[in-house]
């Protein structure tokens, strides 16, 4: 009996959290301190046509977030690329990424994952990011052999996920 009550309470709590997320819109954006973060372009999809002056709506300003195409593996996810460039073996290059809550509701950060050899990180992100607040994730690229490196930084949130593909090249100087 106790197990079924606990399961019911857990289901109710999950529903209430989901309901509050819809009631207060949780939006977020990801930026890098050096501006090198670029949206991932999905292969095989046409680029939008330039405005020819006959559009019914004025052209919108550039949005740094990637477009959400029907071909995205998950339309709730946003995909980015970040290239650390060429870094001498046994040296370090760092990048700061800022996760900012831009909606009217809390952003719930479930987890931050960092994958890939040569990539190390640290974060000061709380579980709940109130509207207008931001947190910082610091990622280092430290190549220990000559060659290509790749990894991923993934922010798993209540409003969707940010997936940053990380790249770098270890060089001998």
pLDDT of 89 > 50? The answer is yes
- DSSP codes joined into one string, the chain: -HHHHHHHHHHHHHHHHHHHHHHS---EEEEETTS--EEPPPTTPPPPPPP-S--SSPPPPP-SSPP--TTSSSTT-EEEEEEEEEEETT--EEEEEEEEE-SSSPEEEEEEEEESTTEEEEE---SEE-TT-EEEEEEEE---SSEEEEEEEEEEETTEEEEEEEEEEEE--
* Alpha-carbon span 64 to 129, nearest angstrom: 21
Question: What is the rounded average pLDDT of the residues 53-68?
Answer: 44
Question: What is the rounded average pLDDT of the residues 116-121?
Answer: 96
pLDDT category, 135, cuts 50, 70, 90? very high
Q: Is the pTM of this model over 0.75?
A: no
pLDDT category, 65, cuts 50, 70, 90? very low
pLDDT of 125 > 80? The answer is yes
Domain layout of the chain by residue ranges? 26-40+75-171
Question: What is the rounded average pLDDT of the residues 17-35?
Answer: 45
Mean of the per-residue pLDDT values of the chain: 72
Q: Give CA angle at 73 (72, 77), nearest 5°.
A: 75
Question: What is the rounded average pLDDT of the residues 99-103?
Answer: 86
Q: What is the pLDDT of residue 143?
A: 98
* Alpha-carbon span 113 to 105, nearest angstrom: 23
- Determine the topology of domain 26-40+75-171 in CATH: Immunoglobulin-like (2.60.40)
pLDDT of 119 > 90? The answer is yes
Calculate what percentage of the chain has a pLDDT beyond 70.
57
The better pLDDT of the pair 51, 124 is held by: 124
pLDDT of 138 > 90? The answer is yes
Q: What is the pLDDT of residue 173?
A: 76
CA 104 to chain centre: 19
Q: What is the pLDDT of residues 34-53, one digit of tens each?
A: 555 555 443 333 343 344 44
Q: What is the pLDDT of residue 26?
A: 42
């Amino acid at each position: 009996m106790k197990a079924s009550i606990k399961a019911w309470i857990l289901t109710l709590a999950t529903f209430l959290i989901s309901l509050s997320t819809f009631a207060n819109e949780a939006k977020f954006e990801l930026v890098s301190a050096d501006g090198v973060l670029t949206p991932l372009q999905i292969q095989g999809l046409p680029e939008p046509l330039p405005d020819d002056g006959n559009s019914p709506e004025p052209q919108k300003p550039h949005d740094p977030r990637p477009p959400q195409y029907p071909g995205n593996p998950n339309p709730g996810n946003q995909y980015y690329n970040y290239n650390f460039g060429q870094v001498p073996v046994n040296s370090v290059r760092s990048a700061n990424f800022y996760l900012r809550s831009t909606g009217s509701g809390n952003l719930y950060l479930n987890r931050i994952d960092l994958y890939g050899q040569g990539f190390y990180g640290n974060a000061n992100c709380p579980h709940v990011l109130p509207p207008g607040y931001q947190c910082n994730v610091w990622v280092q690229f430290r190549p220990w052999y000559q060659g290509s490196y790749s990894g991923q930084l993934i922010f798993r949130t209540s409003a969707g996920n940010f997936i940053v593909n990380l790249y770098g090249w270890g060089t001998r100087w």
